[in-house]
Amino acid sequence: MINPLHRSYGKLSVEAKMQRILAVIKALHPAMSEFLDRNQACGEDPQKTAYEIFKLMKSHSRGMLTSVASECLNKKSPRLRTFLSYLHMEFTEAETVQPQKSELLNISYQPRGLEEYDE
């Protein structure tokens, strides 16, 4: 049997890290735990939501994040998008994709008359 205190946490799998982050965020406050439970009930991934909240801990206090979670519960909208909106942050699902050659975005064309389509 391995003593958990002797385990090297640098070698945890991504899934194990996400589970730990979820457990830590849920343990912050009962409102945060309820928020994440309801977040899952409305079809979102609570591990992803917990990870986003975890990243916010660098710039926001625990009290602020708990307050936002409580407000989301009061508004009956336990979604990550709502949570971030209270912090005046934008939810982005994925990074914007741009072409390597930006000049490809500048398309010019000669409009044709509608007479061609009347035939």
The three-state secondary structure class of 91 is: coil
Q: What's the mean pLDDT in 51-68?
A: 93
Q: What's the mean pLDDT in 97-117?
A: 76
Note the pLDDT of residue 6: 58
72 domain residue, yes or no = yes
pTM of the entire structure?
Answer: 0.65
Out of 13-17, 61-65, 88-92, 103-107, which region has the weakest mean confidence (pLDDT)?
88-92
Q: Please, which residues have CB within 8 angstroms of residue 70's CB and are 6 or more apart in sequence?
A: 31, 35
Number of domains present in the structure of the chain: 1
Q: Assess whether pLDDT exceeds 90 at residue 5.
A: no
Q: Assess whether pLDDT exceeds 80 at residue 78.
A: yes
Backbone conformation region of residue 43, classed left if phi is above 0, alpha if psi is from -120 to 50, else beta: left
> The domain containing residue 80 runs over which residues?
12-93
59 domain residue, yes or no = yes
Q: What's the mean pLDDT in 32-50?
A: 94
